[in-house]
Amino acid sequence: MAVSDHDLISAWKEVLTLSKLESGQIVTVLTSSSTHPQTLSTAMTAAALMGATVNRLDLPPVNAEKALSRDSLAYLGTTPLTGNRAAIAALKESDLVLDLMTLLFSPEQHEILATGTKILLAVEPPEVLVRMVPSADDRRRVSQAARLLEGKREMHITSDAGTDLRCPLGEFPVIQEYGFVDQPGRWDHWPSGFVLTWPNERQTNGTLVIDRGDILLPMKCYAQEAIVVTVKNGFVTDIEGGLDAELLSDYMASFKDPEAYAMSHIGWGLQPRAQWSTLAMYDREATIGMDARAYEGNFLFSFGPNNEAGGSRTTACHIDIPLRRCTVALDGTPVVKDGKVLDGFVYGNSQ
């Protein structure tokens, strides 16, 4: 459904308030050719209404000749900021960057965050943004999950479909995505609502079964038949199944990059306002599929880069796959059981 400017401005004001935007601060809205015009106009209006100095930095798109998809999360690494000293300087001088273009997994993003600049990514359609406007409850729940994950030594994921994957932990930080940037130097993504980390480099072993109905991103399709993925010492060694398996294999092989097969982030979904079924209602290019990444109780895993967590892998190939009906256990204690989150969290409790 379409969203009124008024409702989207109100949503932006909620997010900017949760992000502790103060009057007189500098906000730079980062845009490119795929930026949604209503998201842009309402973001600038909301920030100005809150007394910020608002800039817009519009950059030409890149990677068209290399990417096989127009999804902004499909081809990573180089961005319109790469090598653009003047643009990077402007963002480093800003208190808050509203990224309506997608910098995620880019070296430039870390350079800018290191100066204390906050970056909030927001590229989903306006109605998705409004449906999942973040809340303090989202932060409470994601932070609670992060505390469960911190310090653990192994994430063990199993399912009736046949998934049995052991991910030793400890080398990488836990990352919380709750949809707003309330600390200097923080990055987040609106909409979201999940917790993630990276397994220790080259130590993941086991099998991932992408069952019928599980979602493949950036393909933005539901697997029609099971895909069986074998992981040895942190890298995918086998992808078996029918046409879906062939399509996934062909796509990953097209990057001609061994790093594309590396385990990337792992975690679970905590957003009750995100739905597994939403993707079926959208044209493929109308969304980047954040409902799929955030729906409550998924096990979200990823192949490809780990620079987001401080690693050295910056492969352009980035695959995100949320699985249903998994049990996720941390040092033997389940936090998700058969696709149900076990945190007993009740929204609105002022715990």
Q: Please report, as ranges, the residues that interact with ligand G6C according to CB under 6 A.
A: 73, 177, 189, 192, 293, 302, 320
Alpha helix ranges (H) inside the chain: 5-18, 37-49, 85-92, 107-113, 126-131, 136-149, 243-253, 290-294
- Provide the minimum distance between the beta carbon of 191 and ligand G6C in the complex, in angstroms, as a whole number: 9
Query: Which of residues 319 and 335 has its CB atom nearest to ligand G6C in the complex?
Result: 319
In what helix (H) or strand (E) does residue 98 lie, and over which residues does it extend?
strand 96-99
Query: Which of residues 302 and 327 has its CB atom nearest to ligand G6C in the complex?
Result: 302
- Provide the minimum distance between the beta carbon of 200 and ligand G6C in the complex, in angstroms, as a whole number: 19
How many Cα atoms are found within 13 Å in the side-chain-facing hemisphere of 217? 23
For 194, the token pair is 């999940």
- Provide the minimum distance between the beta carbon of 251 and ligand G6C in the complex, in angstroms, as a whole number: 16
- Provide the minimum distance between the beta carbon of 255 and ligand G6C in the complex, in angstroms, as a whole number: 16
- Provide the minimum distance between the beta carbon of 25 and ligand G6C in the complex, in angstroms, as a whole number: 24
The answer to whether 27 and 96 have CB atoms below 8 angstroms apart is: yes
Q: Is 342 exposed, middle or buried (0-12, 13-18, 19+ CB in 10 A)?
A: middle
Supply the DSSP string of 273-300, one letter for each residue: T--GGGGGGS-GGG---HHHHHBTT-EE
Angle between helices 5-18 and 37-49 (to 10 degrees): 60
Query: Which of residues 141 and 293 has its CB atom nearest to ligand G6C in the complex?
Result: 293
Query: Which of residues 73 and 326 has its CB atom nearest to ligand G6C in the complex?
Result: 73
- Provide the minimum distance between the beta carbon of 192 and ligand G6C in the complex, in angstroms, as a whole number: 5
Query: Which of residues 271 and 302 has its CB atom nearest to ligand G6C in the complex?
Result: 302
- Provide the minimum distance between the beta carbon of 142 and ligand G6C in the complex, in angstroms, as a whole number: 12
Task: Kindly report the number of other CB atoms within 10 A of residue 102's CB atom.
Answer: 24
Look at the block and give the residue holding tokens 């990514």: 121
> From CA 204, how far away is CA 189, in angstroms rounded?
27
> From CA 289, how far away is CA 279, in angstroms rounded?
6
Supply the DSSP string of 288-333, one letter for each residue: --HHHHHBTT-EEEEES--GGGT-S---SB-EEEEESSEEEEETTE
Beta strands in 104-212 (DSSP E): 118-121, 154-159, 164-168, 175-177, 187-189, 194-197, 205-210
Query: Which of residues 152 and 189 has its CB atom nearest to ligand G6C in the complex?
Result: 189
Please report the sign of the dihedral spanned by the C-alpha atoms of residue 127, residue 76, residue 299, residue 18. negative
By beta-carbon distance, which residue lies closest to ligand G6C? 189
Query: Which of residues 73 and 167 has its CB atom nearest to ligand G6C in the complex?
Result: 73
Query: Which of residues 49 and 68 has its CB atom nearest to ligand G6C in the complex?
Result: 68
- Provide the minimum distance between the beta carbon of 320 and ligand G6C in the complex, in angstroms, as a whole number: 5
- Provide the minimum distance between the beta carbon of 336 and ligand G6C in the complex, in angstroms, as a whole number: 18
Query: Which of residues 52 and 288 has its CB atom nearest to ligand G6C in the complex?
Result: 288
